Amino acid sequence: MRKVAVVGAGMTPFAEHFALGIKDLLPMAFAECAASVDKGLDKNDIQAAWFGELSTTDGFPSGILADTLGLPDIPVTRVENACATGNDAVRNALFGIASGAFDIALVVGADKVRESASKDTFWEWAGMTRDMAWDYPLGLVAPANFALHVTRYLHESPATKEHMAMVAVKNHHHAVSNPKAQLRFDITVEQALDAPTVVAPFGLYDCTPQSDGAAALLLVSEDVVDRYTDRPVWVRGVGLGLDRVMHQHKRDMTTFPATVKAAKQALGMAGLTPSDVDVAEVHDCFTGVELISYEDLGFAERFGAYKLVEAGVTSVGGALPVNPSGGLKAKGHPPGATGVAQCVELFEQLRGEAANQVDGAHVGLAHNIGGPTAVSAVTVLEGPGA
Amino acid sequence: MRKVAVVGAGMTPFAEHFALGIKDLLPMAFAECAASVDKGLDKNDIQAAWFGELSTTDGFPSGILADTLGLPDIPVTRVENACATGNDAVRNALFGIASGAFDIALVVGADKVRESASKDTFWEWAGMTRDMAWDYPLGLVAPANFALHVTRYLHESPATKEHMAMVAVKNHHHAVSNPKAQLRFDITVEQALDAPTVVAPFGLYDCTPQSDGAAALLLVSEDVVDRYTDRPVWVRGVGLGLDRVMHQHKRDMTTFPATVKAAKQALGMAGLTPSDVDVAEVHDCFTGVELISYEDLGFAERFGAYKLVEAGVTSVGGALPVNPSGGLKAKGHPPGATGVAQCVELFEQLRGEAANQVDGAHVGLAHNIGGPTAVSAVTVLEGPGA
């Protein structure tokens, strides 16, 4: 398979952008991506695009992307895979380039969650990602859905709500130095534990905020990479895994098989193991999900995730920093943008240019788990250094 | 690029399936597809899937596909590109296989339009594919949108409403022999011209019905094709083109630049010209759109489409039969399924097994134009014969 590199990356701040629509956010992310290309980008060189958006918040997504970026002559495919949308857009763009069909492709992810311009709100749409016959009538939208998993996880593993609070404290602290993050303030374990309950076992600080934003990556084939940079970040592996949709069909609530499958594919394609990963952006829509994901990604032994946060392993400065950007928890989570933005963070980390730099980061992993905990996407990136 | 073949194809009848949901329709299409594989299909050999669905009518699409087909261990990407969704799903699956990532992939398209199980209806969703600031408030949903184009086309070209009626008569007649078609009855030019107006210049018989349905294709690499059939249908070319979303930005209402771009890509990739095409499935959501598309696809000279219907060129028995299945007009149009179902028809045509067989068909072309006339996808297939 032809090698594919990331040579540009940019994103909007993640925030409640009440005054901006998707048509404003897309050009902002693209402009920053284009400006980050070391040797410059002639926009007319872009041959194709993949666009990750969940909620169709302002008209026909592919067309909106082409129109607002001034790219009417290239094919644009919209990919939707719940919260794994962004990293699945990266995956499909990689196939397009690796196939030989294109040398230069754009990947964009975006969502407008707060006061959408559309007549249907994001949350009406989000409800529809649940099974209509069983899960939706039971109220199993995302917070309740993940709460079932984490409640069982806390019961079966030694992890406690204090460990969840430690994840929140870590990711809030990471976000303080990230100018793109939505919640740039430190919190304490006590604050997290004392916060109002959203849905047990999650308090306010266990939950991602509602965010608007966009992120963009420029992917190119190995054949043309020298035209754009001498410091490419290689896409070493991509993976996408699914699990049964309905909760009565899940065999074990304390693990996400979708993540296990996606990570196995991506790391297998890269020829790497979890221990090769230097920095990771992990799906922490709820703090307990970050803990479960340590185990599913192979960073911790079964029910051993709590040890990593206790020891500070996953803080910047530790052996395997997780969510140096602040993560979904504190950077924010516009679902279609999230996976792409994780890769933006890793692009900067692996080139030594991140706001919250992890020393010596060479291999990075981005991870999403979404839908009714039924889909996961993982991307493995490798920096230019030796 | 690695060659990719279609080795299996199946679909549900297109109809108002009031008693069936998307979860019923998907296994029906897949079962027929699997049964059509000459040397048999072990379901466990399928390595990945692409799913085209517009309207998220019953929960999380990728997960619903995996669940209902009993394929929980493969990656599934949902692709959405308005009415070009089905052929864009084929295109992305081709890239996945051509890249070397997979040898065996499933492409499924489906939509449930009539009395959807979801709390939002298909038509509420369809409204959202229009620009929210300009087109949607003006009422520019699909029929009004296409009516603007065809009104101008009738003004500038010699084509008349009689020629539109002749397209309707042709496609209704083709559908009579297709057991999967929704409207299996002949009509006359007079009936079409006398029918109630839906939106000028379209009468009832100028418009596609509302349909439910699903369609499936099995795509494999050249490296494993012999395992499945000695009569593969090769995917020779794929193309996807866009145009500006809003009507005030379209330079010429009498042509669809998206189609021109998609056809150029697909035929260019195939190394073929329009004159090489023996049979085509063309997007006739409204009869006038079939006429315009003859010109955009290179089957007729500018403003010369009417000559083809007058001479019977595009009827079965003519030199270039178009929509032998009955087309969207009479076979029906569940949007996510439509492009995939066009390829199902061509698969059967190119193997000499179609219900309404075109003699000696060797090269087939499938075409969609959709969204706010802002996206088109074209697939070029070639049969096993010499």
Query: Closest Cα partner for B108 from B375, B334, B370?
Result: B334
Last residue of a domain, one of A197, A227, A257: A227
Q: Residue A327: which region, alpha, beta or left (left: phi > 0; alpha: psi -120 to 50)?
A: left
Whether residues A314 and A204 fall in one domain: yes
Q: Residue B125's pLDDT band (boundaries 50, 70, 90)?
A: low
Mean pLDDT of A39-57: 92
Contact A151, A158 (CB under 8 A): no
Q: Is residue A130 part of a domain?
A: no
**Do B24 and B143 reside in the same domain of the chain?**
no
**Residues A33 and A89 both lie in one domain:** yes
Query: Is the residue at A127 inside a domain?
Result: no
Distance CA A179, CA B108 (A): 42
Cα–Cα distance, B295 to A340 (Å, whole number): 39
pLDDT value of residue B119: 47
Q: How far is CA B240 from the centre of its chain?
A: 13
Picking from A99, A103, A135, A222 by the largest number of B CB atoms within 10 A of its own CB, the best residue to mutate is A99
Chain A nearest-CA distance from B257, in A, is 9
Give domain status of residue A99, yes or no.
yes
Q: Is B117 in contact with B58 (CB distance < 8 Å)?
A: yes
Closest CA–CA distance from residue A368 to any residue of chain B (Å): 14
CA distance linking residue B386 with residue B381, whole number of Å: 14
Answer whether A207's CB lies under 8 Å from A143's CB.
Answer: yes
Q: Rounded distance, CA B296 to CA B256, Å?
A: 7
Looking at residues B202-221, what average pLDDT do you find?
Answer: 97
Domain-located, residue A76: yes
Domain with B83, as residue range(s), is 4-122+211-227
Same domain flag for B166 and B34: no
B192 and B152 within one domain: yes
- Among residues of chain A, what percentage have pLDDT more than 90? 88
Does residue B164 sit in the same domain as residue B280?
A: yes
Domain shared by B116 and B247, yes or no: no
Instruction: Quote the minimal CA–CA distance from A236 to chain B in Å.
Output: 13
CB contact under 8 A, B240 and A118: no
* Residue A284 structure tokens: 């922490």
Which helix or strand (DSSP H or E) is residue A349 part of? Answer: helix A335-350
Regarding whether B256 and B215 lie in a shared domain, the answer is: no
Size of interface A-B (CB pairs under 8 A): 211
Q: Do A223 and A259 have their domain in common? A: no
Q: What is the CATH classification number for the domain harbouring B90?
A: 3.40.47.10
Cβ-defined contact of B63 to A374 (cutoff 8 Å): yes
Residue at a domain's end among B227, B253, B283 = B227
Last residue of a domain, one of B198, B227, B256: B227
pLDDT category of residue B54 using cuts at 50, 70 and 90 = confident
Residue B71: per-residue pLDDT: 97
Q: How many separate domains does chain B show? A: 2
Q: Encoding tokens for residue A58?
A: 């302002």
CB contact under 8 A, B62 and A129: no
pLDDT, tens digit, for every residue of B156-174?
Answer: 999 999 999 999 999 999 9
Find residues 139-198 of chain A whose CB sits inside 8 Å of chain B: none
The residue that leads in pLDDT, B181 or B56, is B181
ipTM above 0.90, yes or no: yes
Is residue A218 in a domain? yes
Residue A158 Ramachandran class (φ > 0 left, ψ -120 to 50 alpha, else beta): alpha
Instruction: For residue A131, tell me if it sits in a domain.
Output: no
Residues A194 and A216 in one domain: no
Q: Kindly state whether residues A24 and A42 are assigned to the same domain.
A: yes
pLDDT beyond 70 at B213? yes
Tell me if residue B83 is catalytic: yes
Q: Are B199 and B220 members of one domain?
A: no
**Quick check: B282 pLDDT over 50?**
yes
DSSP 8-class letter at A273:
-
Per-residue pLDDT tens digits for A333-382: 999 999 999 999 999 999 999 999 999 999 999 999 998 899 999 999 99
User: A270-286 pLDDT, tens per residue?
Assistant: 999 999 999 999 999 99
